[in-house]
Amino acid sequence: LNGRRLEPRTARSLFDVGLKRHADLYEADMPVELVMFNALTTAYAC
Which position has the higher pLDDT, 25 or 4? 25
Which residues are CB-neighbours of 26 under 8 A, at least 6 positions away? 19, 35
Q: Name the band, by pLDDT with cuts 50, 70 and 90, for residue 11.
A: confident
- Using CA atoms, how far apart are residues 23 and 26, in angstroms rounded to an integer? 6
Provide the pLDDT for residue 1. 58
The residue among 4 and 33 whose pLDDT is bigger is: 33
Listed by start position, the domains of the chain span 8-43
pLDDT tens digit sequence for 25-40: 888 788 888 888 888 8
Separation CA 35–CA 40 (nearest Å) = 9
Main-chain dihedrals φ then ψ at residue 29, nearest 5 degrees: -95, 15
